[in-house]
Homo-oligomer: A and B are copies of this chain.
Amino acid sequence: MSAKPNIAINGAGPVGALLALMLAKRGYAIDLFESRPDSRQTNIYQGKSINLALSDRGWKALNAVGIDQEIRDNAIPMYRRVMHDLAGNLTTQPYGQEGQAIWSVSRSGINEQLITLAEQQDKVRVHFSHRLTQYNFDNNTALYLNDANQQINHQTDIMFGADGAFSKVRRLMQELPKQRISYSLQYMPTSYIELSIPAGENGEHQLDKNALHIWPRKDFMLIALSNPDGSFTCTLFMDLEGPLSFSSLQDKSQVSDFFHQYFADAMGLLENPVEQFMAKAAAPLCLVHIYPWVVNDAVALIGDAAHAMVPFYGQGMNCGFEDCRVLAELVDQYEDNWPEILAAYQLERKENGDAIIELAKRNFTEMSDKAGDANFLLRKKIEAEFQRRHPELWVPLYSMVTFSPDIPYKTALSVGDIQNDIMDQIMAMPNIHECWQDDGVYRHLFALANQRLS
Q: A residues near B, CB below 8 A?
A: 171, 174-175, 180-187, 240, 284, 286, 289
Contact: A182 with B183, CB < 8 Å?
A: no
Cα–Cα distance between A183 and B174 once the two chains are bound (Å): 12
CA A21 – CA B181 in complex, angstroms? 35
Query: Least Cβ distance of A62 to chain B in Å?
Result: 33
Instruction: Report which residue of A171, A187, A240 has the largest number of chain B beta carbons within 10 angstroms of its beta carbon.
Output: A187
Copies in the complex: 2
Known: A171-B175, A175-B171. A182 touches B182 (CB 8 A): no
| Cα distance, A183 to B186, chains bound together (Å) | 6
A211 smallest CB distance to B (angstroms): 33
Question: Once the chains bind, are B180 and A186 in contact (CB under 8 Å)?
Answer: no
Give the residues in chain B near A289, CB-CB below 8 Å.
184
CA distance A284 to B179 in the complex (A): 10
How many Å from the CB of A183 to the closest CB on chain B?
6
5 tightest A-B CB contacts, nearest first: A184-B184, A180-B187, A182-B186, A182-B187, A180-B284
New A-B contacts (14) at CB < 8 Å, excluding given A180-B187, A183-B185, A184-B184: A171-B175, A174-B185, A180-B240, A180-B284, A181-B187, A182-B184, A182-B185, A182-B186, A182-B187, A182-B286, A183-B184, A184-B185, A184-B186, A184-B289
Residue of B nearest to A175 (CB): B171
Question: Which chain B residue has the least Cβ–Cβ distance from A179?
Answer: B187
10 contacts between A and B (CB under 8 A): A171-B175, A181-B187, A182-B184, A182-B185, A183-B184, A183-B185, A184-B184, A184-B185, A184-B186, A184-B289
> Chain B residues near A183 (CB, 8 Å)?
184-185
Distance in angstroms from A57 CB to nearest chain B CB is 27
Select from chain B the residue with minimum beta-carbon distance to A289: B184
Q: Name which residue of chain B comes closest to A186, CB basis.
A: B182
Chain B residues contacting A181 (CB-CB under 8 Å) are 187
Q: For A286, list chain B residues within 8 Å (CB).
A: 182
Question: Please, which residues of chain B bring their CB within 8 A of the CB of A175?
Answer: 171
CB distance from A237 to the nearest CB of B (A): 16
Q: Would you give the shortest CB distance from A306 to chain B, in whole angstroms? A: 15
- Give the CA-CA distance A399 to B203 in the complex, in Å: 72
Q: How far is the CB of A245 from chain B (nearest CB, A)?
A: 14
**Cα–Cα distance between A286 and B184 once the two chains are bound (Å):** 13
The complex places the Cα of A284 from the Cα of B182 at a distance, in Å, of: 11
Give the residue name and chain of the B residue nearest to A287 (CB).
B182
The distance from the CB of A283 to the nearest CB of chain B, in whole angstroms, is 11
- Which residue of the partner chain B has the closest CB to A184? B184
Residue in A171, A181, A184 whose Cβ sees the most chain B Cβ within 10 Å: A184
A284 to B184 alpha-carbon distance, docked (Å) = 17
Report which residue of A185, A284, A286 has the largest number of chain B beta carbons within 10 angstroms of its beta carbon: A185
